[in-house]
Structures are given as structure tokens and as C-alpha cells.
Amino acid sequence: MSQPCDVVVLLSGTGSNLQALIDSTATGDSPVRISAVISNRADAYGLQRARDAGIATRTLDHKAFEGREAFDAALVELIDTFNPKLVVLAGFMRILSAGFVRHYQGRLLNIHPSLLPKYKGLHTHQRALDAGDREHGCSVHFVTEELDGGPLVVQAVIPVELHDSAQSLAHRVHAQEHRIYPMAVRWFAQGRLSLGEQGAMLDGQLLAASGHLIRN
């Protein structure tokens, strides 16, 4: 097999998406190798998950820096010591500067708990309920300078049930995140997924604006 694709994961919290990625690489023949997990919070449980899996961890506390630019510059420096082909945001609760995003253009993925372009930002499940949406879901996208706005790679759609709460929706959406994020990362590692001038490309074809759509 050719060299695996080195991936650095950034997170701030629980890291259930990291866990899904770790589990998906456990097969031995995975094209994905998670070389490091970096958090801006030392108490992020995701760091423990990484340690348990024998993955290198680093903490870079944003509060120790004067401003976003300085933190992001240090973050780039730290990430690049691992020389990753792909950087994966998995619940990294920081807005990234334009310089950071440009540095990793075409090799920076994010997952967001809504059917983008709907509900950028926070409280997505409650907002979907408040709007009376019949469908909700999650999206993997390439990161560009627009917050939660880059070209979509894959979306998983779930029906909103009559008795759903924000919590029950979050639970079902999370299960879908754990399915589509490893899938997208694998595509990238296999060289099937890239960012073209007009959007995300899969197997040489421009993906639809919604990305690859999975309905449940």
C-alpha cells in the first residue's frame, strides 16, 4: 500500500467525531493515519481518547496569546511539525483567521450539525425545530474564509419527528456525523476528494452544491 495520509485533528471538547475517525482507521489497511490531536483546551476529553489510542497530543491554550492572529500563527507552526496532508476540525470551537484558512486551503475539513447553508453557527438543532423543518442533518465541508460556508462534500439528512427535542435531534445527528466524517476523510486520503476551482470534486466530478447526499 502507498503511504497513508497523515491527518491532524483539532478539537475543543468531547471528541466523539475523533473517536469515529479513530475507529474507522483501526482496520490496519486504512489510508488514513491520525498523526496528532491538538486542542486549545487542556481538559478536552478528546485528548484522552487520543492518548488511549496511542496518538500524539498537544495543547495550545488560546488564552496565552494576544489575539487571534498570534494564536493562529502558533497553531500553524505546531500543526506543521506533523506535516499533515489534511487538517480535520472536529468540534474546534475557535473562529480561524483568514491566514490560517488560506494556509490549509484545500486540505482543511469541518463538520457542522446542520444542513448547510442552513443554520451556520450555534444552536442548530433548536433552530431547525423552531423553523418547523421536516428535515435536519449534518454537513462536511471544505473550510474557506466564510464561517461554515465552504464547498460541501457530504450531507446526511434525517427526518424531524413530531416529538423531537433539540436533544433527541442532536443525538441522531451525531450518529450521522460519525458516519459521514470518516467517509469524507477516507475519500480525501484515497485521493478521490479535492477542492477544485468551482467546488468540491469527487472522483474527478464536481459535486452538487449540497455535496454527496445521504438520506435516512
The footprint of ligand GRF (CB under 6 A) covers 11, 13-17, 90-91, 111-113, 138, 177
Return the biggest CA–CA distance within the chain.
49
Q: Which three cell numbers stand for residue 5?
A: 495520509
Measured CA to CA, the distance from residue 142 to residue 105 in angstroms comes to: 8
Q: Which three cell numbers stand for residue 124?
A: 442548530
Quick check: 214 and 156 in contact, CB under 8 A? Answer: yes
Nearest CB to ligand GRF, comparing residues 11 and 158: 11
Nearest distance from C-beta of residue 127 to ligand GRF, angstroms: 14
Amino acid identity of residue 196, one-letter, is G
Residues 6+ apart with CB under 8 A from 215: 157
Nearest distance from C-beta of residue 3 to ligand GRF, angstroms: 27
Residues in the chain, total: 216
Residue closest to ligand GRF (Cβ): 91
Nearest CB to ligand GRF, comparing residues 75 and 115: 115
Nearest CB to ligand GRF, comparing residues 81 and 165: 165
- Residues assigned a catalytic role: 112
Nearest distance from C-beta of residue 123 to ligand GRF, angstroms: 11
